[in-house]
Amino acid sequence: MIDARTGSTKLGLEILTAGLALGVLGDVLLRAMPWGLNVTLCALALAGTGTLLVRRHAVAPGPDASWLALTVILLGAAFMRRDAAVLAQFDVIAMIIALALGAASLQGARLAALRPLEYVRDGIIAAGGTIAGGVLLVGHDIDWREIHQQEGQGRLRHARAVGLGVLLAAPLLVVFGALFASADNVFANVVRNVFAFDLDAVASHTIQIGVWAALTAGYLRWSLVARPDALPPPATASATGIIPVGTALGLVNLLFLVFVVVQLRYFFGGAALVEDTTGLTYAEYARQGFFQLMAASGLVLPVLMGADHLVRGETAAHLTTFRRLASLLLVLLAVVMASALQRMRLYVGAFGLSEDRLYATAFMVLLFGILAWFGWTVLRGRGRPFAFGVLIQGFAVLAGLHVLNPDAFIVRTNLSRVERSFDVKYALSLRADAVPPLLEALPTLDPSSQCAIATTLLKRWPPHSGADWRTWNWSRSRARRLVTQQADALRALTCPPDHSSSE
């Protein structure tokens, strides 16, 4: 690892140059929306730049750096493959996590050896280091006096000094020029006539280049230049004692047990018991409870992790008591989660599948795996690999969602509900991945649904839309191709002008 205190000027200059280049690339590519191929290219550029700098300066990364870099590239490629709004948000979050952990790995960390609090600590510090890294790079890591001494006293030094002055003045000129042009139309006309460019556009490009350059240079600086001072490990809390922790867990177990008994009664009693007791239909009862049960299930994990932290240092007998209480809570929680999933099944059967319901179910599946992993590791006194296992499970569930193809799965699931009406309006609110199943099912739908689908698809996916190459996406390209191929048949189904559907 290269220590910032030793004066890593050469590495600092290369990081600064790479940051500026990636800033320009980010401005050129990422301003085009919706994101697609542009994100893939930027992910490749960032991973490639980091790899090149690591090799050039013989940085010794941790064992996880390679697969984390590949993960960043695959997440970037996901924007080129799928077209689902919520899934894209999860991809962004996963990419940020992978980059934060990649920075820790480049500094030599072994992810499998980190505890959960160390993951959180390193993620927060990596974010701060990325934001402030550009300033530290220019003001601390690069020794500008060393550069001047190497250049000598000739014309090259003066030329570089002038160039540096122009570079420093450029953003000020753009910002003040844009302000003056906005304040005075005559001045704005003079500037446009003299320079023949749009000051607003120049200001926009300058800001975007500056933001992307600062973030990428800051990230590379934090990843490749050692921290000035070693970070202390998370403080280990003194043992609180088994009595307060055991009492709290015992009361929580009692509450869960009462709830489980009630749930079993409703499971065996069926719809009639629910309607007589609550006044709700079975479907309404299911819809009312799922998300509350999901939230309750999600809260159990931090409760158990906090309790485990508080009993560290206790005697073996006390630890055994804690683990038995925690295991009982996990068993009761499994029943609660089964109840939640049963409610979701009833909910979907009555009202259909939606993005919220699909992703909430995926979260429950992930949570079930995490809690099982917690019982297998932490409750057996082997908590060190717990956080790493959670990370892998999270990436696995996200990959499973990409394979599932959420928008297409939602449409096909709702179409299969033959006893219920098909919500055409909601299906058309989904994105390109929903187009193929809609076209496949079109002949089986009623005339009004055919009319709405045909009209909307022809309007949304015209054959020659002049789409920007930077936003290219396989799903959007396929949707446009399929609509174009079936354009004549779709036009025959479109709504009359006075009944046409709007998007």
Query: In terms of residue numbers, what domain contains 316?
Result: 242-404
Angstrom distance (rounded) from CA 394 to CA 328: 25
Helices (H) and strands (E) in the chain, counts: 20, 2
Task: State whether 329 and 269 are in the same domain.
Answer: yes
Residues for the chain: how many in total? 503
244 sits in which H/E element: helix 242-278
Residue 467 lies in a domain: yes
Residue 189 lies in a domain: no
Task: State whether 219 and 279 are in the same domain.
Answer: no
Question: For the chain, what is the domain count?
Answer: 3
| Position 199, amino acid | L
Task: State whether 266 and 368 are in the same domain.
Answer: yes
If you average pLDDT over residues 22-45, what whole number do you get?
93
Task: State whether 386 and 423 are in the same domain.
Answer: no
Residue 236 lies in a domain: no
- What's the pLDDT score for residue 46? 95
Task: State whether 380 and 246 are in the same domain.
Answer: yes
Tell me 223's DSSP state: H
Q: Which of 404, 431, 455 is the last residue of a domain?
A: 404
| Position 29, amino acid | L
- What's the pLDDT score for residue 484? 93
Q: List CB contacts of 190: < 8 A, sequence separation 6 or more.
A: none
pTM of the predicted protein model: 0.81
Task: State whether 288 and 375 are in the same domain.
Answer: yes
Angstrom distance (rounded) from CA 155 to CA 158: 5
Residue 411 lies in a domain: no
pLDDT digits (tens, 9 = 90+) for 97-145: 999 999 999 988 899 988 888 898 888 888 888 888 887 787 777 766 6
Task: State whether 322 and 463 are in the same domain.
Answer: no
pLDDT digits (tens, 9 = 90+) for 58-88: 888 889 999 999 999 999 999 999 999 999 9
Per-residue pLDDT at 174 exceeds 70: no
Q: What are the E-state strand segments in 1-154?
A: 2-3
> C-alpha dihedral over 426, 430, 434, 440, to 10 degrees?
30
SS3 assignment, position 387: helix
Task: State whether 326 and 439 are in the same domain.
Answer: no
| Position 146, amino acid | E
Query: Are 493 and 450 a contacting pair, CB within 8 Å?
Result: yes
pLDDT digits (tens, 9 = 90+) for 405-422: 999 999 999 999 766 788
Angstrom distance (rounded) from CA 372 to CA 377: 9
Query: Are 240 and 311 a contacting pair, CB within 8 Å?
Result: yes
Query: Are 377 and 386 a contacting pair, CB within 8 Å?
Result: yes
> Among 148, 319, 350, which residue's Cα sits nearest to residue 242?
319
Tokens representing 316 are 């073996």
Task: State whether 339 and 463 are in the same domain.
Answer: no
Q: What are the E-state strand segments in 153-305?
A: 225-226
Residue 474 lies in a domain: yes
Task: State whether 19 and 53 are in the same domain.
Answer: yes
| Position 108, amino acid | G
Angstrom distance (rounded) from CA 451 to CA 447: 6
Query: Are 411 and 427 a contacting pair, CB within 8 Å?
Result: yes
Task: State whether 259 and 348 are in the same domain.
Answer: yes
Tell me 31's DSSP state: T
pLDDT digits (tens, 9 = 90+) for 339-353: 788 778 877 877 889
Q: Is 181 exposed, middle or buried (0-12, 13-18, 19+ CB in 10 A)?
A: buried
Task: State whether 346 and 441 are in the same domain.
Answer: no
Residue 194 lies in a domain: no
Residue 161 lies in a domain: no
Residue 387 lies in a domain: yes
